A and B are shown apart, each in its own frame.
Chain A
Amino acid sequence: MLSVNGIDTYYGLSHILFDVSIRVEKGEIVGLLGRNGAGKSTTMRSIMGLTPPKKGEIIFKGEVITGKKPYILFRKGIGYVPDDRRVFADLTVDDNLEIVYRREETWNKERVYSLFPALYEIKNRKAGFLSGGEQQMLTIARALMGSPELLLLDEPTEGLAPLIVKDLEEQILKLKEAGISILLSEQNIKSAMKLVSRAYVIDNGRIKFEGTRAELDENEEIKRRYLMV
């Protein structure tokens, strides 16, 4: 589905990602784990075309997509949920969903609202007035409106109350059941371990570990050095 092959990404002159390679197969949730500032968000932004890599190649559904504009990538089936949420604060919840480009009809407002019933209750409220958890649901709902085949979820549980995190985890599993492949970045390894089947550990812009959930679970060295467990 997605294959990132040795990308190097810069912010201006500063070199952030070094030879990062990631694979996501159809229907799986893959974790991208690491500390704050390790390069998780930059990897997500590179894949979405927001900060295109200077070196390397990104392949989605067999097609090279490196350097393509974000709106084109969304139309090819990649949904992006940024870590800082970025709802359209001035618009209502409903309008946040409505303006999204509709790639196909797999997902529509009805289906999105049935996944997040709490959003339906507040659909006429301005997104800027929502709580953190509600905004997080809205950014996921917004990405779903494009019927993505691959979802880039950047730290969805960051800063949310434990009870809301639990709800969100269930909803993410439902998305997997619906056949959406997910690249999930997390600092919170406990939450990630419940969701992912494979994981990458990133630190200082380099991939330090790659393996299945069980392999990561057994590797105390990696967990201690890079994930502060």
Chain B
Amino acid sequence: MDIVYSVLPPQFLSQVLVGLSRTTILFIVASGLSLILGVLRIPNVAHGSLYMIGAFVSYSIAKLFGGGPSSYWWALLITPFVIALISFVVERGVFQFLYEREHLMLLLLTFAFSLVFGDLVKLIWGVEYKSVPVPGAFQGFVPLFGGIPFPLYNLFLLCVGPVVALILWFIVNKTKIGKISRAAAVDREMVGAVGINVSWVFATVFVIGCLLAGLGGVLVAPTVSVTLGMDHTLIIEAFLIVIIGGLGNIWGALLGALIFGLSQSLGILLWPKFGIVIPYLAVVVVLLIKPTGLLKSTW
């Protein structure tokens, strides 16, 4: 082990894991954004709001179930469906009538929604910080890499990431709705002309995408203070990830999230004062080399 540490210091390895657990959150949210962008062609600025609402809803559900160490599991189970329901209502109520509009219109509309959602959150939950309990089994730290303590909950996140990626891969490549949505991403008119009700395909994809935003919100909740404004930071990061990965490409979102998450955590280690800038520098470098994103875009 000492030989390994002489090449890769324990602090470095530990920061890699921190970066990867951040990657998990970023990937889950950005893949939902990318899915909606790829299939429905909506640049959904309100995606970050659903992430924030996911965090707040998980706070309320955890409180409803007593706020103890096991209450989080209920929040994890129920919140994504609450977010799915909200997005379903918004899609059927508003978005379904606007798919043919130009992108700038949709950008403004979803931005308006993000403002409305922000104010609703303020009305319902107030402006104070909220904290969500870390689930019982994952409280505390575990010594890793030369004894550096590592939060157990982050290890849990590291396991969730690949599971979500695998489920998404299965839905997109192996299920009928996945295949239909891949076809609709490229030629929605022709999908309609082979008997498929594209409107409901779009609704399903929109709900799945938003459910991912909500899931990201629940998963991040125990590691941060749940607060107003967490939507804005994340939506910017998520859009950058989707852009450097390739619009509409879920594996691009994974790659982008890896670049973003790792450069963030390692940047802090290498250059603490300016660490926060490094992911954005990475984005600039990627876009200089490949302006269309690293993987194939569906646009």
Hey, which bits of chain A sit against chain B, CB under 8 A?
Answer: 48, 50, 69-71, 74-75, 80, 82, 86, 88-91, 95-96, 98-101, 103, 142-143, 145-146
Contact = CB atoms under 8 A, between A and B. Distances in A.
B132 to A, nearest CB: 39
A90 B198 contact: no
B198 A98 contact: no
B183 to A, nearest CB: 4
Given A88-B183, A98-B176, A99-B176, 6 more contacts: A74-B193, A75-B195, A86-B187, A90-B182, A99-B194, A146-B195
B186 interface: yes
Given A71-B198, A88-B182, A91-B179, A80 B193 contact: yes
A91 B179 CA distance: 7
CB-based closest 7 A-B pairs: A101-B195, A74-B195, A88-B183, A70-B192, A100-B194, A70-B193, A86-B190
A71 B193 contact: yes
B197 interface: yes
Contacts of B187: 86, 88
Contacts of A69: 192
B119 interface: no
Interface of B: 176, 179-180, 182-183, 185-187, 189-198, 298
A89 B186 contact: yes
Contacts of A70: 189, 192-193
A89 B296 CA distance: 13
A74 B189 CA distance: 12
B183 A71 contact: no
The secondary-structure label for the interface of chain B is: helix
A70 B180 CA distance: 16
6 contacts: A50-B189, A71-B198, A82-B190, A82-B193, A91-B182, A96-B183
A90 B183 CA distance: 7
Contacts of B185: 90
Given A88-B182, A91-B179, A103 B195 contact: yes
B195 A100 contact: yes
A99 B183 contact: yes
A146 to B, nearest CB: 5
Contacts of B191: 88, 99
Contacts of B198: 71
Contacts of B197: 71
A50 B187 CA distance: 13
A90 B197 CA distance: 20
A86 B194 CA distance: 12
A149 B189 CA distance: 21
Contacts of B298: 90
Contacts of A143: 194
Given A71-B197, A99-B176, A90 B186 contact: yes
B196 A101 contact: yes
Contacts of B180: 99
A142 B189 CA distance: 15
A103 B299 CA distance: 31
A88 B186 contact: yes
Nearest to B197: A71
B190 A71 contact: no
A90 B249 CA distance: 12
A142 B183 CA distance: 13
